[in-house]
Every structure is written in C-alpha cells, then in structure tokens.
C-alpha cells in the first residue's frame, strides 16, 4: 500500500507543484485556457484546497460559471469556519449563484432507461431538480434497450431556468427478413406427387337431345332408302323395257341385250323393294322420335338387314 511518504506520492506531489506554478505564469500572462488545463492536472495529481480555489477562479474567467461555483463549494466544504479563506470562497460562490443557468429534466421513463448530459450519467435522484450547468451548448441523450437514442440539444443562457421533458426514442427497426427461395425446399424425391386424374367421360346427353339425334339418323336412313328405291326402280324399268323389246312372253330373248337386261332386272328389282321399305320405315321412325324428343330419356337404335329387306328400330 502506498503511504503519504512513499516515493510515488512525492513524485506526484512534486509534479503537481510544478504544474501549479506554471499555471500561475500562464494566468498572469493572460493564457487562461492553458493555465486552467495545468491547474486541473495539478489538482488531479495532488488535490489541494488552494489549487481548487484557484481552479474556481480560472473557470469563472473562462465563463464556466457552474464549474467555478462547484469548485468554490468544495473549498467551503473542505475548510473549517475559522479558516480565513472560507469567507472568500463563500462570497465568490454567492456572487455566481444568481447567474447560473439551471436545467430541470422531467419525464416518465422505464427503469432501464439511462439519461446522460454531456456524456455524464444523470442519476434518478437528480431528475426533477433545477441543476446548474455552464452557459453554452449541451447535449442530453436518453438511452433505452429496444429504442433509438433520443437526443436533445440545448443552449444554456446565464441566469435562466429551463425544463426539458424527456421521452424514449423511436423503436428500433425490425431486422430484415431473409429472402424467400424462389423454389420449394422439398427435394424431388420427397415432394408430394399428385397422380394425374383419369379423363372424365362426357356427361350423358339429355333424353331430348338423344331422341333428336336418333330422329335425324332415322330420317337420313329413310332418305337414303328412298334414293336407293328411286335409282333401282329406274334401272328396273329400263331393264324391263329392254326385255320386252328383245324377249318374248316366255322370256326367250333373241339377243344378248335382252339377256343382260333380264339379269339386271333380277338385281335391281329387289333393291327397289328394299329401298322403299327402308325409306318408309326410316321416315316413320324419324317422325316418331321427333315427337318423343321432349319426353323421358330413351335409348334408340336402328338395325338394317338389307338381305331380308327389313329395318328394325329399337328404343
């Protein structure tokens, strides 16, 4: 442990004495800023009442009224009532007090908020009190977790009082979300697959539509049968005329033309009959189905048997 008689203390005390003397030379020469800087260092190395009193005088000359007033108060607190220097310090402090700027900090802040004035933390007990400060610019900052610092810049004027209401800064912005991948994170093997749906059959036609279609089909078949009957009938008549010309009543023909005509007639004659039967039945079925197309669902089908010369309509 270092004692008052140690070499380290003696070295600090000697340095403080040198700084004090050099400070007096600067002050006498009007170099107030340089003299105050040396007095502050001297008082840091070896605090003394005389140095503190001279530092108060130096700070007052620089216009730092609250700092000078604080130094004179320290001298008053350090000296007994019988010390002749104490009344001088009391007069100097009393003369400065009316011109001190004062700032009162108020506001409802959470317990984890920190208030700083010129980078010095202001304790909770100091809030709401008119505290003295030096004239000139000052910065008050409110810091709180989750909030941006709220900064106040003020300009203190001598012999004025000001109240500053403190508030929290804006909430800190939320961190940016990571970009979303443009494709699914599922691998092809693990990605769910949906089986392709089977082709759906077309919806069944309504009863009316089915019958209407069947009527058109029957009508077409009937028209084809009538056309067949007309063509075959014409050929049959031509063959009969040629047979009458070249053959007798016993169908004995005198030329090959008569024989050929007889053979053609044997073919076209039955076709004419079939054509008329198909045409008649088809026309009748078409009319019947057309009349039934607005009724109940029906299934119609046509079957034609040319060999038997008949047409069957089933529904």
Question: What percent of the chain clears pLDDT 70, i.e. is strictly above it?
Answer: 59
Can you name the residues that pair with 75 across neighbouring β-strands? none
- The pLDDT tens digits of the residues spanning 242-282 come to 666 666 666 666 666 666 766 776 766 676 676 666 667 66
| Residue 101 CB coordination number (10 Å) | 23
For Cα atoms 202, 208, 210, give the angle at the middle one, nearest 5 degrees. 50
What's the average model confidence in pLDDT over 155-179?
92
- The pLDDT tens digits of the residues spanning 82-120 come to 999 999 999 999 999 999 999 999 999 999 999 999 999
Residue 3 pLDDT class (50, 70, 90 cuts): very low
* DSSP character at residue 63: T
Sequence-separated (6 or more) residues with CB below 8 Å from residue 129: 104
Secondary structure (DSSP) of 36-68: HHHHHHHHHHS--HHHHHHHHHHHHHTT-HHHH
Cα(67)–Cα(203) distance, integer angstroms: 99
Distance of CA 38 to the CA centre of its chain: 61
Which pLDDT value is given to residue 186?
47
């Amino acid at each position: 442990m270092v004692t008052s008689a140690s070499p380290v203390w003696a070295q600090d005390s000697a340095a403080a004495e040198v700084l004090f003397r050099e400070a007096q030379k600067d002050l006498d020469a009007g170099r107030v800023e340089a003299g105050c800087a040396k007095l502050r260092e001297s008082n840091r190395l070896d605090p003394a009442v005389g140095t503190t009193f001279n530092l108060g005088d130096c700070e007052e000359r620089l216009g730092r009224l609250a700092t000078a007033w604080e130094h004179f108060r320290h001298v008053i607190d350090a000296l007994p009532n019988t010390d002749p220097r104490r009344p001088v310090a009391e007069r100097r402090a009393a003369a400065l007090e009316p011109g001190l700027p004062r700032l009162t900090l108020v506001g409802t802040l959470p317990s984890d908020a920190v208030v700083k004035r010129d980078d010095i933390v202001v304790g909770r007990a100091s809030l709401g009190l008119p505290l003295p400060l030096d004239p000139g610019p000052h910065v008050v900052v409110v810091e709180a977790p989750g909030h941006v610092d709220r900064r106040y810049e003020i300009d203190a004027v001598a012999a004025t009082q000001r109240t500053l209401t403190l508030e929290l800064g804006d909430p800190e912005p939320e961190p940016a979300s990571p970009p979303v991948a443009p494709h699914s994170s599922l691998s092809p093997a693990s990605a769910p697959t949906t089986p392709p749906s089977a082709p759906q059959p077309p919806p069944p036609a309504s009863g009316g539509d089915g019958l209407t279609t069947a009527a058109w089909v029957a009508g077409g078949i009937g028209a084809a049968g009538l056309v067949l009957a007309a063509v075959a009938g014409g050929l049959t008549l031509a063959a009969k005329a040629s047979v009458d010309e070249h053959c007798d009543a016993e169908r004995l023909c005198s030329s090959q033309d008569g024989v050929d005509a007889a053979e053609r007639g044997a073919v076209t004659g039955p076709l004419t009959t079939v054509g008329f039967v198909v045409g008649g039945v088809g026309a009748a079925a078409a009319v019947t189905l057309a009349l039934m197309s607005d009724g109940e669902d029906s299934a119609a089908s046509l079957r034609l048997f040319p060999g038997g010369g008949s047409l069957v309509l089933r529904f």
